[in-house]
Structure 1
């Protein structure tokens, strides 16, 4: 059966891809759930897709998928040593007071580290330190956080284990081309050029284009523009609140006004979860719109303390057990899609959300009914116990006040932070070395490294499993069979013909450049993982028809997929800095667009120079 000259089978696969892309872009359902749906659809439509049940789930057994799981675990083992945190402390000591040194240290450190350690936890560790460093240096954190993310992305091009797309490309190289997997450092020379060019851009043109969205000297109350939403109210002796439960105030005001803290005789305690009752003379810090606060004040016989509102310093009251902080919702968070009332952050963790920054938008009212999204920045009233709890997982990235000061207090002067530190580093070096020397396949070397870290006590089995971003793993396993379906039905060949048609009017190097541009644009809209799976079969097929090097075209797709700068959703680290930097969507286009175009030229020419065409 054919339709307009195109067989039915590839049309069915194209339809599945179209639906998948729509779901990836809209995120109506999480991307990993979409990937599971792809697996089911491919197997259910086997007569047209050519993918049976075994092939549909083959992504879970793919060497790239297993290697990525192992690398997440190995990265966690290195992360637990505290070496990255200590490096941040030393950099802060060297760069405080200089914007240029702070920017150079940020990008110059993050890039190389991200070449061998998963860049997501690296950025997670650096965000609070960079934010505090910006405040100490007197510059806007927005000027450093976007370069932090971009440097981490650039560093992923240095080695085979730098990004998941590199590992996927290695598997494609082994199956689609007449060669083995890509070597650990096979494209490091080009990656180093890309990194140097990218860092030079960030230090010059990018520095000028990056906006200062967050004021340099703003405290948290000013940063979230809460001056009109926070108030101190004193409980008069004749107030109707006297002897009533503190925790019940927001119920009596239909949650329009939320009590945050109560100060009594020099003592400060959280309103959330307390069994205390109001007493005459209590000073209550409340959060809510000014009109609602005034209604509550008149209704319950309260009086406003001070005419000018409160700042971050007065809000915390000097009590170290209650503090303001910020928390980022990562892509892996279980709170994604839940409203604050459903998340029970206040009830279970004593963490009260005062405002939500979503990009450049601020949400300060009706917070309980707002579904949380990846990249949201929450202004929270929290406790040291909550900060410590969330530091152990990946549901919230909590950014407390003065993280550098706290790290410096515990950093000391000893070289290793624990007895396991040199062991963990040695294991990581051994994994990289064995893979680089082709003594073991990368997947076996990585799994061996995980085994060694667990049995030596560098990493517990529970921490190893917790370190894995399982949503990324399911996404990988779900989209890999799409590449199989594209090949099996001839869909890749059909799309390759369209790319080859440009070869009639363009030289091959221009076709390679066009392939890079299309891949890069696609990776900014959907995930880089999905992009590399869809584009590599097309690029390799087109290269064969053009009598060009398939490996050259594969590398173009690999580098283009791994360097997504133009949107906050193009790469996970972009999303992580989106809220803390207060960026607008267009900021990524303005700063990342020229960088992506520059690297498309540099990378294309570099591939041709190093591998030919």
Structure 2
């Protein structure tokens, strides 16, 4: 075996070929996670395959490579996602959110209190990712009705759910993964203090973090949050569509008279869409593809000014003006909602696809007027834009189409249906099942995997969930991500790479006390989580943290908790945590908004969390 001794390392293991290969795999995976050249779940599976193929150097066998699929954390997360969907189908969280909204009224302070108060505590018992997906439309409606910019409420919604996720073992997938990783390390290395987390193992610290974080969100965050989205609910103004929507009149001599809407514009030459037809007192919106155009029709066209001029010249159209507000794009029945924001959900079948490849317009009877992606607003060449998780689409569609979109697991519609189809009669069953799952995992020897899977069966048996909804409830991206990155942690442990990194960090103990080394791990985990998945950062950092703790004679369990809390409270970027992506578009945020609000909070919680760990568990 080739090894490269490290001079002046003082007990640091020698660098071996196996370690270098694993470090290369880790570096490659980090690059792919950050650049998103491949979807993160595909990257995770690629990492798994590479580790097995290079098994002679990574020490990962085929069985160990696919062990992530049978890992208790993976199965527990799968079950909890299904249980969370069951609760959402009853409308329980939405009803709680609406009651809080009624309490808030037009008072911005009450609106903020309602947002934090509804997201935080609930996220301790229902996976926090679906909680945010459920509450985005509730909070958006609350903001618009209360004449408040959604930008003032949606980041607090995401952050509060992340804080609440640290109340219990089941609040977030990161906790479950950290629990199983700690248990495996404890067994493999004979460290008695390392064990799987109990349901309320760290609840006391979670309460402290939630209270401190909530106070920050209530007092400091409002001063730092910009009003990116106008308080008035007018999407045309918000998306600055004035130069991209124009009304034209079809002259009698126009060559498109007698053609259908689909035939009217040559899409190979022009980037343009006909959104609606006004004919006398009638207005027609989607589906209008087969509607025959007549002389005198007023067409609303989405395109830029230069393209419009070319179309008008070719098709003999006269300009009639620009819709000044979204009311001019409404059908005759004004109470119908025809413009709405739609967020691409994690696990959506549209991720990686384009509007053209999915046939979005005909598939959903809806027009896309604009994109908001990673803080950038796109209004042209929309057909070829590749969709990513968190992208927000400004959609025009009939009311029934929007209702269908709101029940589609591919989307989060940032507007609650006027008559939501909730199974409110099943609320007692859903609550009883969740309480039963938690109690059984707390007071009996049963593992959370067993109780959660039992809860899934109970959800279907009582009709809270229909059997066909079980598979749609699972965010398969998360499941494949977990299954793919777990072998990476095994490789770090079995090749000694984690021990090497841990000993290098432990060397700082000659200059820093153990509690300062603990703080360093918290901060570094938070930073790395800001650019890769929180689950990936836990897998990478926990083995290293444990080795460092052993080397300096500190409490390994304290270091595991520091990494777990840091990975679950990564506030500084929109890509570090899925809930941040869900509010990115509807809040109209820019990348720097997360850093401006999240950096002080993360620094504050680094001190609070590390101090809390020292008080409750010792360092």
Normalization by structure 2: what TM-score?
A: 0.94
Moved more, 257-266 or 9-18: 257-266
For residues 249-294 of structure 1, give each alpha carbon's deviation from its aligned partner in whole angstroms, at most 9, with x where no partner exists: 2227833331111122322222655322111221211111122223
> Alignment RMSD, CA only?
1.8
Does residue 138 of the first structure (1) align with residue 147 of the second (2)?
yes
CA distance in 2, matches of 1:322, 1:239: 32
Equivalent of 1:595 in 596, 601, 605: 601
CA distance in 2, matches of 1:252, 1:64: 48
For residues 26-68 of structure 1, give each alpha carbon's deviation from its aligned partner in whole angstroms, at most 9, with x where no partner exists: 1100111111111111111111111111111111111111100
Aligned-pair CA distance for 1:321: 6.2
Q: Which runs of 4+ in 1 moved over 4 A?
A: none
Are the aligned partners of 1:246 and 1:271 in contact in 2 as well (CA < 8 Å)?
A: no
CA distance in 2, matches of 1:324, 1:418: 28
3-state SS of paired residue (2:396) = strand
CA distance in 2, matches of 1:534, 1:560: 13
3-state SS of paired residue (2:50) = helix
Does residue 315 of the first structure (1) align with residue 329 of the second (2)?
yes
Q: Give the equivalent residue in structure 2 for 1:33.
A: 42
Equivalent of 1:200 in 199, 215, 222: 215
Q: Give the equivalent residue in structure 2 for 1:43.
A: 52
Matches within 5 A, 1:476-491: 476-491=482-497
Matches within 5 A, 1:507-526: 507-526=513-532
Distance change in 2, residues 1:308/1:419 (3 Å): closer
3-state SS of paired residue (1:420) = helix
Q: Give the equivalent residue in structure 1 for 2:433.
A: 427
Q: Give the equivalent residue in structure 2 for 1:368.
A: 383
Equivalent of 1:276 in 291, 301, 316: 291
Moved more, 319-328 or 435-444: 319-328
For residues 311-339 of structure 1, give each alpha carbon's deviation from its aligned partner in whole angstroms, at most 9, with x where no partner exists: 10011134466711111112322212222
> Structure 2: where are the runs of 5+ without partners?
6-14, 187-191
Q: Give the equivalent residue in structure 1 for 2:273.
A: 258
Equivalent of 1:604 in 598, 610, 615: 610
Are the aligned partners of 1:242 and 1:278 in contact in 2 as well (CA < 8 Å)?
A: yes
Are the aligned partners of 2:423 and 2:464 in contact in 1 as well (CA < 8 Å)?
A: no
Q: Give the equivalent residue in structure 1 for 2:88.
A: 79
CA distance in 1, matches of 2:274, 2:568: 46
3-state SS of paired residue (1:326) = strand
Does residue 102 of the first structure (1) align with residue 103 of the second (2)?
no
CA distance in 2, matches of 1:308, 1:277: 23
CA distance in 1, matches of 2:220, 2:351: 35
Moved more, 261-270 or 68-77: 261-270
Are the aligned partners of 2:302 and 2:369 in contact in 1 as well (CA < 8 Å)?
A: yes
Are the aligned partners of 1:51 and 1:484 in contact in 2 as well (CA < 8 Å)?
A: yes
Matches within 5 A, 1:338-353: 338-353=353-368
Equivalent of 1:382 in 376, 393, 397: 397
> Structure 1: where are the runs of 5+ without partners?
none
CA distance in 2, matches of 1:206, 1:366: 36
Q: Give the equivalent residue in structure 2 for 1:211.
A: 226
Distance change in 2, residues 1:160/1:322 (3 Å): closer
CA distance in 2, matches of 1:167, 1:275: 52
Matches within 5 A, 1:276-315: 276-305=291-320, 307=321, 309-315=323-329
For residues 468-523 of structure 1, give each alpha carbon's deviation from its aligned partner in whole angstroms, at most 9, with x where no partner exists: 11111111011111111111111110000111100001011111111111111111
CA distance in 2, matches of 1:454, 1:279: 53
Aligned-pair CA distance for 1:236: 2.8
Q: Give the equivalent residue in structure 2 for 1:2.
A: 2
CA distance in 1, matches of 2:454, 2:382: 47
Are the aligned partners of 1:231 and 1:310 in contact in 2 as well (CA < 8 Å)?
A: no
Does residue 466 of the first structure (1) align with residue 472 of the second (2)?
yes
CA distance in 2, matches of 1:330, 1:249: 33
Aligned-pair CA distance for 1:459: 1.1
Distance change in 2, residues 1:282/1:498 (3 Å): same
Does residue 551 of the first structure (1) align with residue 563 of the second (2)?
no
CA distance in 1, matches of 2:288, 2:3: 65
Q: Give the equivalent residue in structure 2 for 1:494.
A: 500
CA distance in 1, matches of 2:32, 2:378: 26
Q: Give the equivalent residue in structure 2 for 1:456.
A: 462
Aligned-pair CA distance for 1:180: 3.8
Equivalent of 1:355 in 366, 370, 374: 370
3-state SS of paired residue (2:170) = coil
Aligned residues: 603
3-state SS of paired residue (1:67) = helix
3-state SS of paired residue (2:275) = strand
Normalization by structure 1: what TM-score?
A: 0.95
For residues 392-437 of structure 1, give each alpha carbon's deviation from its aligned partner in whole angstroms, at most 9, with x where no partner exists: 332222234xx37x15xx69xxxx9533221111011000111121
Aligned-pair CA distance for 1:207: 1.2
Does residue 563 of the first structure (1) align with residue 563 of the second (2)?
no
Equivalent of 1:118 in 110, 127, 142: 127
Aligned-pair CA distance for 1:302: 2.6
Does residue 175 of the first structure (1) align with residue 184 of the second (2)?
yes
Q: Give the equivalent residue in structure 2 for 1:156.
A: 165
CA distance in 1, matches of 2:326, 2:448: 50
